[in-house]
Amino acid sequence: MLEANAARLPFPMYPTGQERGSRWFLGQDVLSRDDDGAVLARGRTAEDLHRVRELIPGDWLNG
What does the pLDDT read at residue 18? 66
d(CA 12, CA 14): 6
Distances (CA, A) of 41 to 2, 3, 13, 18, 33: 11, 14, 17, 22, 6
pLDDT > 60? residue 63: no
* pLDDT tens track for 16-48: 666 778 899 999 899 999 988 888 899 999 999
β-bridge mates for residue 14, sequence order: 22
What does the pLDDT read at residue 24? 93
